[in-house]
Amino acid sequence: MSFQINIKKKALKFVSRLDRKEKERLRRALLSLKDYPVPVKVLMLPKSQVKRILTA
C-alpha cells in the first residue's frame, strides 16, 4: 500500500510542476488511454526525455 501512495505522491509532484498547456496535453493523453487501453511498460526516464515526450 505504501508503494502505491509513494507513486501517487511522485505523480502529483510531477504534475504540479507542469504548466497549464502541458497539463492539458497530459489530460488528453490519459483520456485517450481510457478509451483505447494499451499495454504500458513502466520506464524510469530522465526529466528532459519526459518533457520531450509530452511536447511531441
Identify the CA nearest to 11 among candidates 37, 42, 36.
42
Number of domains the chain is built from: 1
Residues 26 and 53 sit within 8 Å (Cβ to Cβ): no
Residue 7 cell numbers, joined: 507513486
Which pLDDT tens digit goes with each residue over 12-49? 888 888 888 988 888 888 888 777 776 766 667 777 77
Domain enclosing residue 20, as ranges: 2-55
Its pTM stands at: 0.45
pLDDT at 31: 83
